[in-house]
Amino acid sequence: MDPTDPHTAAQALKAGGLVLMPTETVYGLAADAANPRAVAAVYEAKGRPSFNPLISHVADVGMARRIARFDPRAEALTARFWPGPLTLVLPAADTAAVCDLARAGLDTVAVRAPAHPLARALLQAFGGPVVAPSANRSGRPSPTTFAAALEETGYAAAAALDGGPCEVGLESTVVALLDEARLLRPGAVTRAEIEAVIGPLAEAEADARRSPGRLARHYAPDLPVRLDAAAPAAGEAFLAFGPAPETARTFNLSPSGDLKEAAANLFAMLRAADRSGASAIAVAPIPHEGLGEAINDRLKRAAGFVG
Ligand code: TXA
Ligand code: MG
């Protein structure tokens, strides 16, 4: 198929097939949210525990209202950040539109309108909500290029859309608006940006079922990961941040110390370091401000520490 044709890919979704879908954050493995068989195939392709609910992707706020109940906070956040890398967990409106399996049996639904033009074209052509977890196999770094997406779960996809490298490179921010507004997953939209719209965010609850994606070892390369390293030890690859000597196994997330650039490079460089022939991956300290919160969240999980 033509890997830039959203209509063929929408047909594949309608037929119950899976589609590799580029988004501005990471590539997703997409399926018709209403089709439990297709959703089961997503879990199977990823090797994901089936208690982990999926995000429903929509073309616009109108489509979101068919599946989720909006309150004034949801109105304000979507007006400011959609289309874009913000996922809201809301009470489910019509529980049939997103099957039970996609919601992992919860009466809530995670919804986001991605900004990538090819994702938007696919969602418009399909005409309904599409679930899409990151297209990696469970526990591995999310794919941020078409090649990495094909390598992870391409074998299970009926169609694949090539949207080029992902501009953001980190998954969407997940905010639950059930009682208090809670940050379930730090991401591309920063805590400060959200708080500027709806006020202070409560912390995610320790209850893992509220945010099952927050597993201890997640986003992980095969090699061990050592954080806050001033410099690599012998045999280690190095993920640098800021000025650093160039060596064969140094991957500089951002030589100028720019967090946005570092986020965009993070998963691709973790993959490259993993393949460099090193014995482990050392990672330079990343400042914990702005996007740094999300980068450090992913790095902690790549290293196997609970956040
Ligand atoms: O940027 C992204 O969000 C990417 C792209 C493809 O859109 N998708 C993505 O999906 O990261 P996934 O499945 O890897 O992560 C979904 C996160 C998980 O942490 C999951 O636990 C949480 O959203 N989630 C989904 N539904 C939920 C719900 N009803 N309640 C609480 N958390 C939920
Ligand atoms: Mg994921």
Stronger pLDDT, 247 or 145, i.e. the higher one: 145
- 132 is known to lie in a ligand binding site: yes
Q: Are 254 and 261 in contact (CB under 8 A)?
A: yes
| Residues 277/195, Cβ–Cβ less than 8 Å | no
Closest to 106 measured CA to CA, from 40, 49, 52, 43: 52
- Closest C-alpha among 304, 305, 286, 306 to residue 296: 286
- Name the amino acid, one letter, at 121: A
Give one DSSP letter per residue of 159-185, joined into a string: EE----S-SS-SPPEEEEESSSEEEEE
**Separation in Å, CA 209 to CA 50, 154, 173, 195, 264:** 12, 29, 17, 24, 29
Q: Which ligand is nearest to the CA of 142?
A: 2
Domains of the chain (ranges plus CATH)? 6-210 (3.90.870.10), 225-302 (no CATH)
Atom of ligand 1 nearest to the CA of 109: 29
Extract the tokens encoding 156.
Answer: 């299970």
State in Å: Cα 95 to ligand 1 middle: 18
For strand 202-203 and strand 55-57, is the pairing parallel, antiparallel, or unpaired? unpaired
Give me ligand 2 centre to Cα 246, in Å. 31
Give the pLDDT confidence score for residue 52 in this predicted structure.
82
User: What distance in angstroms lies between residue 142's CA and the mean position of ligand 2's atoms?
Assistant: 6
Nearest CA to ligand 1 atom 6: 28
The pLDDT assigned to 208 comes to 46
pLDDT tens digits for 117-172? Answer: 999 999 999 999 999 999 999 889 999 999 999 999 999 999 999 999 999 999 99
Atom of ligand 1 nearest to the CA of 172: 1
Is residue 211 marked as binding? no
Nearest to 85 by CA among 126, 4, 41, 142: 142
pLDDT digits (tens, 9 = 90+) for 186-233: 999 999 999 999 999 998 765 544 454 555 567 788 999 999 999 999
Tell me which residue has tokens 């009926």. 158
Nearest atom, ligand 1, residue 212 CA: 21
Name the one residue in this structure whose structure tokens are 């330079």: 284
Ligand 1 pocket mutation, candidates 57, 81, 87, criterion most atoms within 8 A of CB: 87
Map tokens 């959609």 to a residue.
82
| Residue range 38-69, pLDDT digits in tens | 998 999 899 877 668 999 999 999 999 999 99
pLDDT value of residue 209:
46
- Residue 185 assigned to a binding site: yes
* Residue 134 known to bind ligand: yes
CA angle 237, 239, 242 (to 5 degrees): 135
Q: Is there an atom of ligand 1 within 6 Å of 285 CB?
A: no
254 is in an annotated binding site: no
- Of ligand 1's listed atoms, the one at least distance from the Cα of 55 is 25
Give tens-digit pLDDT for 204-217: 765 544 454 555 56
**Percent of the chain's residues with pLDDT above 70:** 93
Q: Is 54 in the pocket of ligand 1 (CB under 6 A)?
A: yes
Ligand 1 in reach of 89 Cβ (< 6 A): yes
138 annotated as a binding-site residue: no
pLDDT, residue 104, reads: 84
Band (pLDDT 50/70/90 cuts) for residue 96 is confident
